A and B are shown apart, each in its own frame.
Chain A
């Protein structure tokens, strides 16, 4: 695991990505504490201000300090994305692994369930489920978790399938290895990196969905500050503060980009690590294999 991480971090883009993620993690943990103003405090004297020394990112239409709201909103935005990934991981990876071992009926049923999850329209379903079931953060997280579960199911199942049909696993079984032992010893080594890559990219995806939901005022209800909610407020005041959305948008884009870059670096590192060194020409040929064709 360590060598994979080290290999992944050799890429400059991965270094930048980890840097960004550390900053975001700091914001999420300490943001509400270091916020210079009360994120809920309204001030009718300073409405819709531009950036000043006092208010770094200006104030919104109720005179609230935007910088403080951005900091205070970090925790819930990041946590919501991470929690929905955990839901997706449990709902997807576990059946994905078991589908390889629990026989064809279980396999068929889980495949059809995942197909059904995929046919659910992404944002519409998240909105419908959250709004109909009480408009809370928990409902939103479960909805997003259901939507991203098929991604986890697919990669886990694919990784487990390739290992369980490999010769060294067959050899181990001939020597009397139990399924549990094979899973712990061999399958896990292939499945874990695949899950790590998917976790990174799905955290980015669910951050976008959670931001979209909060942008619409669903799941987390205003005045509680969120990244998406900040953008919604800015949208109403574009003519007075056209620069308003820039920083919240950059924070969202930066985080999503960092997560995707990290996923790419991890993917490269896990496919390269442990394999014999290949020439540039050979690697290009290997990469040229079309996905899903």
Chain B
């Protein structure tokens, strides 16, 4: 499930990013006359508008449908605030009264419209349990998940890029095959197995790192860092492997292109060819993967958070689901969906910026 259809869909037709490149291309291919320039500018604006329309036409239905699935989960569960709060002792009158209070006596489509209207304005409803606003609950927990995910992302980018670069430069040699083998093994390791392994080695045997808990960084920075290290490593392995693999694939293809040979022939140093010329074009698949991974790292850390007793976003969702706190579950799912869609758009824009001007559809 590494690439998906959203990522695979072609990047934007013409992007606003990187005016230097397009100006460059225009200058080299045709004489710059005022008329031409104006036509180019119009072309550019139209391309951006077209891309915007196309994105909206895809993102809006997808958002509505996936949130509708999310909403249906709650409706299909047959749970209601009264039963959740009072359990079996809830009287029919109590159930009816609370249902009316939460608007659960209306038809499902109306309920959905009410709810999605609130979501768009940032109102995710209130928890059935402690009547706290769902947005507030998620906000509190998101900081914890963001610490772990952010750290995991840094590990993923640094080591993934390093491994991918080394493998691509030594393509076909032992180092390359070793990295490829290690990467494919790393991506089969489930995070909970890695987490347990890390605890056994680093906490139980070596007593290096604490095995559970969370402290905010403002309170004790080093304690915070030592607490998030193991979950971050456990979460990052998959990202490291995936980035290394995609970067290798992209770079190997790019290094065979004629313009790279040309640069080598012109006597540019290997380093300059690799970092100045090849990396920019070879990074595409890796960037796409990165965009897919960020929401997974933020929202998918349920198991890791449970193992390390970190009350993050994923744990909030799992606990609420087990308690039957429907609004909180729906809220966490919506936030996760929005994150996925947001990073998809970001990836598309970045990919468009990375694409050589000559390959952009005009």
Contact = CB atoms under 8 A, between A and B. Distances in A.
Interface of A: 111-125, 127-135, 148, 150-151, 154, 204-205, 208, 211-212, 215-216, 218, 228, 231, 234-235, 238-239, 242, 245, 249, 252-253, 256-257, 260, 264, 284-285, 288-293
Contacts of A128: 70, 73, 317, 321, 329, 332-333
Contacts of B196: 231, 234-235, 238, 245, 249
Contact of A235 (B5, B62, B307): B307
B95 interface: no
Contacts of B246: 291
Contact of A205 (B1, B172, B189, B199): B1
B200 A242 contact: yes
A245 B199 CA distance: 11
Contact of B66 (A120, A211, A228, A239): A120
A212 B188 CA distance: 14
Nearest to A257: B188
Interface in B182-229: 184-185, 188-190, 192-193, 196-197, 199-200, 203-205, 211
Which of A127, A133, A135, A235 counts the most chain B CB atoms within 10 A? A127
The 9 A-B pairs with the shortest beta carbon distances in the complex, nearest first, are A131-B321, A121-B336, A116-B66, A132-B77, A116-B65, A121-B299, A119-B340, A115-B62, A249-B193
Contacts of A235: 196, 199, 307
B260 interface: no
A284 B249 CA distance: 11
B350 to A, nearest CB: 13
Given A132-B79, A238-B196, A239-B204, A120 B337 contact: yes
Nearest to B185: A257
Nearest to B341: A119
Contacts of A264: 184
Contact of B65 (A112, A135, A252): A112
A284 B252 CA distance: 10
A253 B189 contact: yes
A112 B318 contact: no
Contacts of A253: 188-190, 193
Interface of B: 1, 3-8, 58, 61-63, 65-66, 69-70, 73-74, 76-77, 79, 172, 184-185, 188-190, 192-193, 196-197, 199-200, 203-205, 211, 246, 249-250, 252-253, 256, 282, 284-285, 288, 295-296, 299-300, 302-303, 306-307, 314, 317-318, 321-322, 324, 326, 329, 332-333, 336-337, 340-341
A128 B73 CA distance: 8
Given A131-B318, A154-B5, A290-B249, A121 B300 contact: yes
B329 A132 contact: yes
Contacts of B211: 238
A148 B4 CA distance: 11
B137 to A, nearest CB: 15
B112 to A, nearest CB: 14
B170 to A, nearest CB: 14
A256 B300 contact: no
Contacts of B253: 288-290, 293
A253 to B, nearest CB: 6
A288 B302 contact: no
A87 to B, nearest CB: 15
A120 B6 CA distance: 13
B285 A111 contact: no
A131 B322 contact: yes
A252 B336 contact: no
A112 B5 CA distance: 10
A132 B65 contact: no
A260 B188 contact: yes
A42 B128 CA distance: 39
Given A150-B5, A252-B190, A123 B66 contact: no
Given A127-B318, A128-B321, A231-B192, A121 B329 contact: no
A144 B314 CA distance: 17
Contact of B317 (A124, A148, A228, A290): A124
A80 to B, nearest CB: 15
A192 to B, nearest CB: 21
